[in-house]
Structures are given as structure tokens and as C-alpha cells.
Amino acid sequence: MRAPKPRDVIYGLASLRLTLALLLLLAVASAVGTVLPQGTDPVVWQQRYGTDAPWWGSLGLGGYYRGWWFRGLWAALIVNLLACGVRRSVQGVRDFLCRGRNNLRLPAEARAAVSGTLRGEGFRLTSELPLRARRRSWGFLGFPLVHLSPVLIVAGALWGSWGGFTGTAYGFLRAPAWTFFNWTAGVDQDLPFVLVVEEIRRLYHPLRLRAGVGERGAGGRLVETREGGTFPAAPYPYRVEVDRLDVEGKDLRFYLIGAAGRLGPFSSAANDAPLRVVPVEYKDPELRQVEAGVTVRSQDNQVLRQHTLAVNRPLVVGSLRIYLTAWSENLEEDPWVGLQIVKDPGQGVLWVGSVALAAGILMLLFVRGGWAREEGGEILIRADREVLRRVREAVADGISREASGTP
């Protein structure tokens, strides 16, 4: 029995059946993982699965998605996708170099008709004799991008799973935090720096309120407005600009805009304005965003970084990304924030693969590449159907004219 050739091995790994089998196994394995407790104590496994718990635990099912066999399925899928994409990617690169397979072959005598038609279709002739022409041949690179970018996406996800982790930490106001709990490893770990939460701010949507407007010591009228809004205080010669409402103190801060310009600020509690503006009713404040001002310090207390944490505004320090995930107060009413600490070394690879996949799809959909070259007494053309149809018509028309003697 002869030894298999490398090309036969690649074709075997590129089997569509193998791709479907691996995808089916990954789907089943992922579904099973949703019902298995992850990151739990072995005692929980013993209580749930009885005498079989040690055997199940030896397979690493407590860290199911980090197990060697589950990651092995993903690694096998990477090899399969790479083998599937190699042949098509090589063809795309060869077409980019105008050395690929043609889809139309014509005799060299049709050179004049072919070159004229290709010019009309936007081809650039790089040589008249022998004929060389190309049109947006870079569009053929869409094939390797589409076929190889899924490999990058899966590889980036696998790399992040293998070399990354997710952890949590709590940051109390002005209390240094230098440890976090690594959920991936199930242990407490030291941070490579000291994180200090300097302040915690709650930002609210502008309050809608009703205010009583009138002269001091006189009855007034009710006006509906909001924080940041303005309204005319007719019949008085002012416009009222509402700044903000202190809900706890029921104190409204505002400005008056008149002929003398912008006056204020005034306070409804102090009653020091020429016009009385008093809050009467208001809606409960609606929280818009929580921000945490944090400082990153080195172990010798040197300031390395200052940042304002918020949802979807993480802090990046080296290979770590820190997200704001929670906020509250303890029983002593000390405010704190919950922090998620993520390390994902494969994130950059995953993003590159995603962008490459999108670019490849757009190139295949909207870029009509093509080339033509003359060799061995023939003209070889690679183009879309519309171009090929027009080339055939031009050549057939030239032949008919030549047969009939028409100049």
C-alpha cells in the first residue's frame, strides 16, 4: 500500500463530511455543557451524581468548556477549515496575479475584438502584444479572505479560552484593591497593580417638574419644565432657565434672563431672586449612568493611569480590561462598585478575522474582477458572465464580418 501524498491528506482533511461531523459534535457538546454545573465544589458533584462523581470529575467536567477534549474539537475544526480554504485561497491568489484558471479560451487571431471589448468593460491593457489585461483583480482576494478568516475567528476564540480568564473584584470608595477572584482558575490572585476608586457618581436623566412662578409675596402660576429647560415668565420681563433640582433639599437652582442679561444663579430655598420660582411637583429621578473615577497605581504607589469607568467604557491596562458591572452600598452605607477583570489574548485575532470576513464578503458581492492573457497562441480570459457574453458576441461579429468581406 502506497504512502498517502500530502495533497491527498489535505483533501481528506478538507472533507465537507468532516466539517459537518465536527459542527454536529460541537453543537451536542455545547448543549450538554449547559446542564452540567460549572466551577462547583466536588461535594456538589457527589450529591448530584452519587458514586459516579469521582469518575466524572476526573474528566474535568467541572470546567467543561476549558476541558482538553472540548478545546480539541475546536482545534480539529480549525485544521479542517484551514484545509478547506487552502485550495480555494490558492486559486484566489493566482487570479489576483492573473495566473489562475480561465473560463474562456479564444484563438489569438481574435485579439483585436477581445482587446476592444475589454477596454469597453473597464479593463486596463498592460500589453497589446501579447495581450495582457486586468480589471480590479484585487477582488479575487475575497476568496482567501472568506475562506481563511473563519480560521482566524475560531483560533482567536480558542486562544482567548486557553490563555485568558475572567475575574471579579470589589472596589470600595478610596480603599485600595490589589486582588481579584479568578473564576476561570477558581482562586484568588494578585493584580499587577493597585486600583483605587476615587469617586462614584450617579448621573440622572433631566427631571421633569412643575414650578410655581410669581413675585415674592404674591400668588403665582404653575409651569411644566425640566432640568436644563427654559420658559417665559410672562407677564414678568424674564425667561427662567432651570439648572437643577436638589431632590433631598427640594431646592431649585435657576437663572433669570432679562434685559440686563443673565442673572443668577438663584436658589428657591434662599428666596433671593427678584422672581419667585418654587418646585411644586417632580417625577422620581431616573438613573442614566454610574461613573467611577479610578486611579491605577504601581506597587510603589506611583500613579500609572487615571480613568473614568462606566458601562461600555472599560479601563485597559496592559493585557487586562476592567469593566464596571455593579454598584451599591454595604450595611454601613459605604459605596462600592463591582469590577469584572478580563484577559483575552485572542481578541485582536478574532477582530482581525471578523473584519477580514466582512471585507471578503463585500469584495465577492460587489467587486467584479477579471483578467486576460495571451499564451501558446490562445487568449485566456477570466471574468464574469456578462463580460464573457460580450466578448463572444464581439468575436462572433468579427468572424461574420470577415467571412462576408465587410470592412
Cβ–Cβ < 8 Å for 174, 195: no
Q: What is the pLDDT of residue 25?
A: 87
Mean pLDDT, consecutive 10-residue segments, the chain of 407 residues?
56 75 84 66 61 56 69 84 83 91 91 92 91 94 90 88 89 92 88 94 89 70 90 88 87 91 90 86 87 93 93 91 91 88 92 94 92 92 93 83 58
Distance CA(253)–CA(228), nearest Å, equals 10
Q: Which helix (H) or strand (E) holds 401?
A: helix 385-404
Instruction: Give me the residue label for grid cell 467584479.
Output: 368
Distance CA(202)–CA(380), nearest Å, equals 69
Q: What is the pLDDT of residue 7?
A: 59
pLDDT tens for each residue of 290-328: 999 999 999 888 999 999 999 889 999 988 999 999 999
Secondary structure E strands in 72-153: 104-107, 124-127, 132-135
Those residues whose C-beta lies under 8 Å from the C-beta of residue 349, and which sit 6 or more positions away, are 152, 155, 156, 159
Cβ–Cβ < 8 Å for 282, 224: no
Amino acid letter, 227:
E
Count of C-beta atoms within a 10 Å radius of residue 330: 10
- Please choose, from the candidates 153, 173, 169, the residue with its C-alpha nearest in 3D space to the C-alpha of residue 320: 169
Domains of the chain: 165-203+287-343 (2.60.98.10), 206-282 (no CATH)
Cell of 322: 476592567
Instruction: Give me the residue label for grid cell 470600595.
Output: 172
Cβ–Cβ < 8 Å for 297, 304: yes
Instruction: Give me the residue label for grid cell 458572465.
Output: 385
Paired residues of 12 in beta bridges? none
Distance CA(292)–CA(315), nearest Å, equals 11
Distance CA(309)–CA(306), nearest Å, equals 10
Cell of 67: 476541558
Q: What is the pLDDT of residue 58?
A: 57
Q: What is the pLDDT of residue 32?
A: 75
Q: What is the pLDDT of residue 217?
A: 46
Cβ–Cβ < 8 Å for 225, 242: yes
Pairs from 25-32 (Cβ < 8 Å, separation ≥ 24): 25/73, 26/73, 26/74, 26/77, 29/70, 29/73, 32/64
